Amino acid sequence: MAKHAIGIDIGGTGIKAAVADVKNGKLVSERLRVETPKGGKPKDVAQAVAELVNLLDKEKNLEVGICFPAVVQHGVTKSAANISEDWIGLDAQSLFARKLRRHVHILNDADAAGVAEAKFGAARKQRGLTIMTTLGTGIGTALLYDGVLVPNAELGHLEIDGVDYESMAAFSAKERENLSWDSWAQRLQKYYSRLEALLVPDLFIVGGGVSKQHEEFLPLLKLKTRIVPATNRNSAGILGAAALAYKNRRD
């Protein structure tokens, strides 16, 4: 029997959605994308998500997982990155459940990407501690121990040299300051070396759009820990959100 669920990946600029086969980690529908409503307010985002879900599941019988650029604790969004501050302290799970008229599962976007890599990608069957990092506007992180997610690790915000270091090492910093690959890699070296010293991981995984160009910067890093690009790229959030929605489904 097919194991299908809908994954929704909400970002500051776009919302992506598809039906995923959570047994083999493949998308089984077209991947839809709409612009995130201007201002990113909860009511408007929920409406956009509802429209996407209706397009993907007219029978209304699939579980829905939604990943989000925020710390999510028991369905409540505790922070907000590149979207409205109205999300902070909001019961997002109840908001989406009411709007979609079905059970939903909400989680952090980096956590969703980490789950996708653990089930279907670079961390599959990996023992010990894996740290998933997503390099984009900021730095998202997910901790996986023997493939099990430890949610809401906000390690992109480590203070190094007196600053929140994602402001120095995120891909947006490379673009903003027009850094060469070598110069950016020096900042990444400092960041990953600090993570390595604090947590002694078995594997680093690097995701985000820039991971497509991993050959430009990963070979420049000198770490004790193996570091590899993510496998699932732009589908990771969708796959991870769908997988956890199916796992936590209500029969």
Taking only the tens place, the pLDDT of each residue in 185-217 is 999 999 999 999 999 999 999 998 899 999 999
Where are the CATH 3.30.420.40 domain residues in the chain?
Answer: 4-111+235-247, 122-230
Taking only the tens place, the pLDDT of each residue in 124-156 is 999 999 999 999 888 999 999 999 999 999 999
251 has pLDDT over 80? no
Contact 72, 152 (CB under 8 A): yes
Domain 122-230 matching CATH 3.40.640.10: the answer reads no
β-bridge mates for residue 141, sequence order: 133
Fold exhibited by the domain 4-111+235-247: Nucleotidyltransferase; domain 5 (3.30.420)
Distance set, CA 113 to CA 97, 104, 232 (Å)? 22, 18, 8
